[in-house]
Amino acid sequence: MLEITGLTHSYGPAGRARPALRDISLAVAGGELVSIVGPSGCGKSTLLRCVAGLIRPAAGTITLGGSPVERVPDGLAVVFQDYSRSLLPWLTVADNVALPLRRKRGSAPAAAGEADRTAGPARAGRRARREAARAALATVGLTSEGGRYPWQLSGGMQQRVAIARALACDPVLLLMDEPFGSVDAQTREDLEDLVLTVRGQRDITILLVTHDIDESVYVGDRVVVLTPGPGQVRADLRVSLPSPREQITTRQLPAFVQLRAEVGRLVRERETETGAHSERGAAGPVPGTEATAANTGTGQG
Amino acid sequence: MSTARIARHLGPAARYLAAAGRHLAPGGRHLTRWLVIAAAAGLWELWARAQQSPFFPPPSSILARLYHLWFAGPAAHLFLTPDATGNLLPSLGRILAGLAIAAVLGGAGGLALGRSRAGAAYLDAMLQFVRALPPVTLVPVFIAIFALGTPMEVATIAFGTIWPVLLNTADGASSLDPVLADTARAFRLPGWLRLVRLIIPAALPKFFAGLRLSVSLSLILMVFAELAGSSNGLGYEMNNAESSFNMTSLWAALVLIAILGNLLNAAELAAEHKLLAWHRNARQRRT
Ligand SMILES: Nc1ncnc2c1ncn2[C@@H]1O[C@H](COP(=O)(O)OP(=O)(O)OP(=O)(O)O)[C@@H](O)[C@H]1O
Ligand SMILES: [Mg+2]
């Protein structure tokens, strides 16, 4: 589905460019949820921006469904790290969520698209959009906030609006940059489960950046650990935990505990030790987990 | 604070009022402002009556003249006298026409300029150069092109007031929050939707900042263009009053222009208040 090969990117003028990503290779199968962890400034957001087609990488290729990403791909949705600045302050919450539903559908599947298009009148479209926005807000627990403005909401609520907006447009590829950073623990667990539910219901591929190691293991099919900036893939771990996952019991599984410790160790490791660890090596196989080399990651879907 | 400055000249009583005004609700502050104006007018009245100067008639006779010249008409004409419909309305019409042209062309041009990086780079130096020209100096040029009359006056007002709108809007349109720009791209919003939902709303605060400057400029330009030669309008009335040495009428025209300026400002602020509620509130929230 998504194939990243030799992705390298630097910021700044040529000559004084500062590297942000170095030689990232990653293959993600359709329907897979890949968690990306790594220290602050290692290039996680940069990686997502490259995949989204928002910046053109200095080197390397990204293909999506076989064709190279040169512009923003169809069927993409993004939850930006700067969620509060990504909401339009002059639109209500409901209008914010409904806004991307007006985008052009490049190559919509014929079956679904036909009925929409023959239905024709703009009024029906508007009502359908409003309904979809309401439904999306309901899934993030903001049913009654649709008429308010983003700046009237708390940070965590704004973050949920951004998530609702991304889910409402039924993406094929969903990029989430620390999507649960500002919400309370209870809501955070609810949102993690929401993402897992949505992923179970629709055919959707998700890249999720997080600082929370527990979370990366809990939601992920795979956990990709990046080195401190400029980011390289330090490890690409498969998460073999039973589905469906459950907040209490899954987190008690020995496999979960061990994998979490493993990811934690990999994130904390000093730069100097990078050489000692091959991506494949990653401290040997742990029961319930297997380390996969990044460029052979086949996924499961 | 201007009330404080006035208070210093008006003695302890007014100073007390101004200080009190600061602690009052907005309504109370308005009251204080009017009291200060009334006190100033009262002092002028006493001074003018004592002096009997032909150049500075007392405010009471200026206001009486203002009323008789323009607002003593029949109720059917909204109390406007023929003089008012013949002079006040044409002046107001020219201001509004000039401002409308400036707002539409300046707004649209500013959006285009702000969104096209190349356009801004090439045109900016030239625009700054042209803008440095005091707009009134073009009145002779416009007289040559349009001859005396309304088109010349409207052109003068439009040309003079377009710059603040144009340059401010361009600034606003070019400084769209990069995260919002990314959002629009990531969700593949079509171009027209980006324009009406992102670029225009984001540029609106700057547009209004420009328009506010343009409104005060428009009065200057209106008076100047009409003084240069016109067969009606407030500038024409001022010319008449001056040549017949009718100081009371001249002052009445000045007071009327001041009132007009205040009304235009208030109208602009009301429109801004209505359209930019989100801006005001979002900013309060952030600070
Ligand atoms: N627009 C930019 N211009 C210049 N440098 C940038 C820009 N964006 C990011 N960088 C640099 O690139 C590096 C990686 O940034 P990035 O935002 O991708 O990190 P991150 O892993 O998302 O960090 P965090 O976890 O703090 O969000 C950083 O060193 C940063 O300074
Ligand atoms: Mg980031």
SS3 string, A70-119, reads CCCCCCEEEECCCCCCCCCCCCCHHHHHHHHHHCCCCCCCHHHHHHHHHH
A149 close contact with B: CB closer than 8 A: yes
Q: Which residues of A touch B179 (CB under 8 A)?
A: 80, 82, 85-86
The one-letter code for the residue type at B19 is A
Place of tokens 């017949």: B244
Instruction: Name the token pair of B149.
Output: 């009359």
Backbone angles phi, psi at A294, to 5 degrees: -55, -45
Query: In angstroms, rounded to a whole number, what is the distance separating the alpha carbons of residues A266 and B285?
Result: 40
- CATH 3.40.50.300 in chain A, residues? 1-75+172-301, 79-170
Nearest residue of A to residue B282, measured between CA atoms? A151
Q: Which residues of B touch A90 (CB under 8 A)?
A: 201, 278-279
Instruction: Name the token pair of A34.
Output: 């890949």
CA distance A100 to chain B (A): 6
**Nearby residues of A83 by Cβ (< 8 Å), 6 or more positions away:** A158, A159, A161, A162, A179, A182
Residue B252 CA to ligand 1 centre (angstroms):
64
pLDDT at B1 over 50: no
Picking from A35-49, A106-120, B4-18, B196-210, which range would have the lowest pLDDT averaged per residue? A106-120
Which of A48, A76, A88, A126 to probe the B interface (max B CBs under 10 A)?
A: A88
ipTM: 0.80
What class has domain A79-170?
alpha beta
A21 close contact with B: CB closer than 8 A: no
Which of A45, A129, A151 to probe the B interface (max B CBs under 10 A)?
A: A151
Give chain B's radius of gyration (CA, Å).
23
Structural contact between residues A160 and A140, judged by C-beta atoms closer than 8 angstroms: yes
Nearest ligand to the C-alpha atom of residue A177: 2
Tens of pLDDT, residue by residue over B107-119, are 999 999 988 877 7
B285 close contact with A: CB closer than 8 A: yes
E-assigned strands of chain A? Answer: 2-11, 18-28, 33-37, 59-64, 67-68, 76-79, 173-177, 205-209, 222-226, 233-239, 289-292
**Do B197 and A76 lie within an 8 Å CB cutoff?**
no
Nearest to A85 among B180, B201, B281 (CB): B180
Instruction: Name the token pair of B144.
Output: 């040559």
Nearest residue of B to residue A162, measured between CA atoms? B183
Q: What is the DSSP letter of B245?
A: T
Alpha-helical segments (H) within B116-233: 117-131, 139-146, 150-174, 178-186, 191-194, 200-227
Q: What mean pLDDT comes out for the span B221-233?
A: 87
CA distance B167 to chain A (A): 23
Ligand 1 lined by A41 (C-beta under 6 Å): yes
Q: Which atom of ligand 1 is nearest to the CA of A21?
A: 14
Ligand 1 lined by A42 (C-beta under 6 Å): yes
Nearest alpha carbon to residue A88 among B193, B75, B8: B193
CA distance B218 to chain A (A): 30
Write down the pLDDT at residue B286.
Answer: 56
The one-letter code for the residue type at B237 is E
Which of B183, B193, B197, B198 to probe the A interface (max A CBs under 10 A)?
A: B183
Nearest alpha carbon to residue A86 among A140, A180, A166, A11: A166
pLDDT at B162 over 90: yes
Q: How many CB atoms are closer than 10 A to CB B100?
A: 13
Going residue by residue through chain A, which has 301 residues, state the pLDDT in tens, using 9 for 90 and above: 899 999 999 998 877 888 899 999 999 998 899 999 999 989 999 999 999 999 999 889 999 888 888 889 888 999 999 998 999 999 999 999 999 988 655 433 333 333 343 333 344 488 888 888 999 999 888 999 989 999 999 888 999 999 999 999 889 999 999 999 888 898 899 899 999 988 888 889 999 999 999 999 999 999 999 998 788 889 899 988 888 888 888 999 998 999 999 999 998 886 545 444 444 434 444 444 444 444 433 444 3
Average pLDDT, chain B: 85
B134 close contact with A: CB closer than 8 A: no
Structural contact between residues A102 and B190, judged by C-beta atoms closer than 8 angstroms: yes
B193 close contact with A: CB closer than 8 A: yes
For a mutational test of ligand 1's pocket, the pick from A44, A209, A225, A267, i.e. the residue with the most ligand atoms closer than 8 A to its C-beta, is A44
Instruction: Name the token pair of B281.
Output: 């509130």
Structural contact between residues B265 and B216, judged by C-beta atoms closer than 8 angstroms: yes
Nearest alpha carbon to residue B222 among B211, B208, B209, B237: B237
Tens of pLDDT, residue by residue over B48-105, are 999 888 888 999 999 999 999 899 888 888 888 888 888 889 999 999 999 999 999 9
Q: Please report, in angstroms and rounded to a whole number, the separation of the first and last CA atoms in chain B.
A: 22
Nearest to B183 among A86, A104, A149 (CB): A86
**Predicted structure pTM score:** 0.79
CA distance A198 to chain B (A): 19
Nearest to A88 among B180, B185, B188 (CB): B180
Which value, to the nearest 10 degrees, does the dihedral of the CA atoms of residues A63, A68, A73, A74 take? -90
A112 close contact with B: CB closer than 8 A: no
Number of H helices, E strands in chain A: 9, 11
Write down the pLDDT at residue B32.
Answer: 87
Residue B68: alpha-carbon gap to chain centroid: 26
Phi-psi region of B206 (alpha: psi -120 to 50; beta: other; left: phi over 0): alpha
Q: For the residues of A280-301, what is the DSSP string, one character each?
A: TTTTS--TTEEEE-GGG-----
Query: In angstroms, rounded to a whole number, what is the distance separating the alpha carbons of residues B262 and B215?
Result: 10
Nearest alpha carbon to residue A207 among A24, A23, A32, A21: A32
Structural contact between residues A231 and A42, judged by C-beta atoms closer than 8 angstroms: yes
Instruction: Name the token pair of A293.
Output: 């080399």
Nearest residue of B to residue A55, measured between CA atoms? B182
Q: Which residues of B touch A74 (CB under 8 A)?
A: 188
B189 close contact with A: CB closer than 8 A: yes
The superfamily (CATH) of domain A1-75+172-301 is: P-loop containing nucleotide triphosphate hydrolases (3.40.50.300)
pLDDT at B8 over 80: no
Q: Which residues of B touch A77 (CB under 8 A)?
A: 186-187
Query: In angstroms, rounded to a whole number, what is the distance separating the alpha carbons of residues A7 and A253?
Result: 35
